[in-house]
Amino acid sequence: MRFLDRRDFLRQSAGLAGLISSGYFLGEVDAGQAPAAQPNPGGANERLNIAVIGVRSRGIDHIGGLAGRHNCRVTHLCDVDTAVTGAAVARTQKAQGGVAPAVVQDLRRIMDNKEIHAVSIATPNHWHSLAAIWAMQAGKHVYVEKPVSHNVWEGRRLVEASRHYNKICQAGTQIRSNPGIREAIEFVQAGKLGRCTVARGLCYKSRPSIGHVNAAQEPPRTMDYNLWCGPAANRPPQRNHPRNGTVHYDWHWIWEYGNGDLGNQGIHQMDVARWGLNKSELSRSCISLGGRFGYTDDGETPNTQVCVFDYGDSELLFEVRGLPSPN
């Protein structure tokens, strides 16, 4: 199987722009490429081997939902930072009655392994679509965290890959599985509130400053930083938070890797708002305004933002507010 390198990404993505955020993009899926041989678990009653990619935060929750449950075994854990895998191994081993997973640092080794039937992806946003496409090219099914893509363009490539390779690619918008939310949406869509023409979604979540540094910083020595960058440019980190360090978590507020709270927490509430309007397509147009207010730090994405999505017969309004309010 051929993996796209960084030059492929940069060359094939030149001039493309996402509607929600900017960043680097994955290369085109080769529609003529035959899908890899499907790893075969042997039957519905036999064990499924799962690999979890990215285990510092959400990946731990993935382990909890898979390891030792539903006839699954988490056989592999993958993370570019060896400092974060210890707790994940212990959690997996305990859930699986003492059966420990193998640990690898390079996700390409996960794709190469034909004994792995499915992957669960909890990497930073800029890796989501690429890792999922690689997995489907390798014959594996996918669960990928939200947002499924760093931008709209690569999200379309992800959908095309799922259809082309005939693989399941499930997105981590798990609020849709909440029984109460499902009942509420059914109530609205049944017309019991009349015709709804506006949905409003909110992400009000306190986001303090991540601080400011005057020079490029060093990534953790336990991390393969080139692998962490992946399809993004291999630039030294320009941030250093007392809790999160120079790389982890605060990538959410850097355009090249994250989408701010619009694509972090907000995507859950936006998804429900769009669901309530019974819309499954992109809006006809979108207006967004806002900025990073209240402090000057190394973050780039807005902490205050308003978006209006026009569907013609209805509108979706979404707000991000990250600054604290007086009592």
pLDDT tier at 14, thresholds 50, 70, 90: very low
Indicate the residue among 140, 172, 204 that finishes a domain: 172
C-alpha 119/C-alpha 74 separation (Å) is 9
pLDDT of residue 324: 83
Q: Do residue 149 and residue 218 come from a single domain?
A: no
Please, are residues 161 and 136 in contact by the beta-carbon 8 Å criterion?
yes
Which residues constitute the domain of residue 36? 6-172
pLDDT tier at 65, thresholds 50, 70, 90: very high
Q: Do residue 138 and residue 162 come from a single domain?
A: yes
Q: Do residue 48 and residue 161 come from a single domain?
A: yes
Q: Do residue 192 and residue 162 come from a single domain?
A: no
C-alpha 10/C-alpha 3 separation (Å) is 14
pLDDT digits (tens, 9 = 90+) for 112-159: 999 999 999 999 999 999 999 999 999 999 999 999 999 989 999 999
Say which residues have a Cβ less than 8 Å from residue 12's Cβ, sequence separation at least 6.
Answer: 4, 25, 26, 27, 28
Q: Do residue 139 and residue 250 come from a single domain?
A: no
Ranking 13-27, 192-206, 283-297 by mean pLDDT, the lowest is 13-27
Q: Do residue 88 and residue 192 come from a single domain?
A: no
Indicate the residue among 146, 172, 198 that finishes a domain: 172
Burial of 105 (0-12, 13-18, 19+ CB in 10 A): middle
Query: Is the per-residue pLDDT at 38 higher than 60?
Result: no
Say which residues have a Cβ less than 8 Å from residue 168's Cβ, sequence separation at least 6.
Answer: 141, 142, 162
Q: Is residue 254 part of a domain?
A: yes
pLDDT of residue 35: 52
Q: Structural domain tally of the chain?
A: 2
Q: Is residue 257 part of a domain?
A: yes
Q: Do residue 166 and residue 185 come from a single domain?
A: no
Q: Do residue 50 and residue 150 come from a single domain?
A: yes
Q: Is residue 326 part of a domain?
A: no
pLDDT tier at 166, thresholds 50, 70, 90: very high
Q: Is residue 218 part of a domain?
A: yes
Q: Is residue 198 part of a domain?
A: yes
pLDDT tier at 215, thresholds 50, 70, 90: very high
Q: Do residue 98 and residue 244 come from a single domain?
A: no
pLDDT digits (tens, 9 = 90+) for 250-301: 999 999 999 999 999 999 999 999 999 999 999 999 999 999 999 999 999 9
Q: Is residue 327 part of a domain?
A: no
Q: Is residue 1 part of a domain?
A: no
Q: Do residue 127 and residue 203 come from a single domain?
A: no
Indicate the residue among 141, 172, 203 that finishes a domain: 172
Q: Is residue 285 part of a domain?
A: yes
- What does pLDDT average to over the chain? 89
Q: What's the CATH code of the domain at 189? A: 3.30.360.10
Q: Do residue 238 and residue 157 come from a single domain?
A: no
Q: Do residue 163 and residue 205 come from a single domain?
A: no
pLDDT tier at 32, thresholds 50, 70, 90: very low
